[in-house]
């Protein structure tokens, strides 16, 4: 199972997102990581391997904030180095090898958030197919 979740929670941090606590809708890296851990545990109980996908760059998009970027960076570092996923697909670095925090022109659909077909190709190329068997 490839898990790519979190950027919508960061960019739309209110009760529109799944699992938001209406009394405290704030999004934190800790909450996102806890959600990842829940998915990992549920998959492993069923004998399903997990591939953690880093959250995509989103600077330049309509809802970008420095606070949200810090959350994305923390979650991505945990995905890369946390050792809890069976494998990692580093979509962040595949789409933004220079580490600018932005999807380069040609790799997004004009909104600096959603990948273009070329962006999805770069994401696909970042997956080590051996980890899926």
Neighbours of 19 (CB within 10 A): 9
| Averaged pLDDT for residues 70-80 | 98
**Contacts with 132 (C-beta within 8 Å, 6 or more apart), sequence order:** 49, 51
- For 40-71, how does the pLDDT look when each residue is reduced to its tens digit (9 = 90+)? 999 999 999 999 999 999 999 999 999 999 99
Rounded Cα distance between 78 and 121, Å, is 24
Check: pTM over 0.85? Answer yes or no: yes
Beta bridge partners of 21: 24
Which pairing describes strands 87-89 and 2-3: parallel, antiparallel, or unpaired?
Answer: unpaired
The confidence score (pLDDT) of residue 132 equals: 82
- For 104-131, how does the pLDDT look when each residue is reduced to its tens digit (9 = 90+)? 999 999 999 999 999 999 999 999 998 8
The confidence score (pLDDT) of residue 12 equals: 84
Q: Go through the domains of the chain in sequence order and give each one's CATH number.
A: 2-132 (3.40.50.1110)
| Averaged pLDDT for residues 13-34 | 71
């Amino acid at each position: 199972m490839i898990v790519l979740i979190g950027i919508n929670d960061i960019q739309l941090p209110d009760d529109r997102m799944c699992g938001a606590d209406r009394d405290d809708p704030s999004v934190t890296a800790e909450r996102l990581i806890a959600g990842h851990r829940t998915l990992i545990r549920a998959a492993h109980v069923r004998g399903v391997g997990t591939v953690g996908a880093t959250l995509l760059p989103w600077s330049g998009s309509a809802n970008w904030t420095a606070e949200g970027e810090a959350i994305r960076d923390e979650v991505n570092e945990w995905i890369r180095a946390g050792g809890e996923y069976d494998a990692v697909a580093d979509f962040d670095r595949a789409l933004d090898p220079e580490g600018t925090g932005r999807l380069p022109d040609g790799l997004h659909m004009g909104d600096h958030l959603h990948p273009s077909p070329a962006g999805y190709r770069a994401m696909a190329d970042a997956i080590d197919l051996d980890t899926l068997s």
